[in-house]
């Protein structure tokens, strides 16, 4: 499974807005790779930020 898909799945399962560091802990993926995946997800408009530094699925 691709990192972007893993990040999105982790967000959906959490049921709340998460920080990149929290997603890294849940998935076991390095934070720098989480940031790259989140950049792609933001561009595809699949995630939104309800407050600064927190992200959730759209």
Q: Where are the domains of the chain?
A: 3-57
Tens digit of pLDDT at every position of the chain (58 positions): 699 999 999 999 999 999 999 999 999 999 999 999 999 999 999 999 999 999 999 9
User: Residue 1's pLDDT is what?
Assistant: 66
Q: Can you give the pTM of this predicted structure?
A: 0.86
Distance of CA 40 to the CA centre of its chain: 10
DSSP state, residue 58: -
CATH number of 3-57: 1.10.10
Helix/strand/coil (H/E/C) assignment for every residue in 1-57:
CCHHHHHHHHHHHHCCCECHHHHHHHHCCCHHHHHHHHHHHHHCCCEEEEECCEEEE
């Amino acid at each position: 499974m691709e990192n972007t898909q893993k990040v999105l799945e982790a967000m959906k399962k959490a049921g709340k807005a998460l920080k990149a560091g929290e997603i890294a802990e849940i998935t076991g993926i390095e934070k720098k790779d989480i940031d790259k995946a989140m950049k792609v997800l933001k561009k595809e408009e699949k995630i939104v930020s309800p407050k600064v530094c927190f992200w959730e699925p759209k």
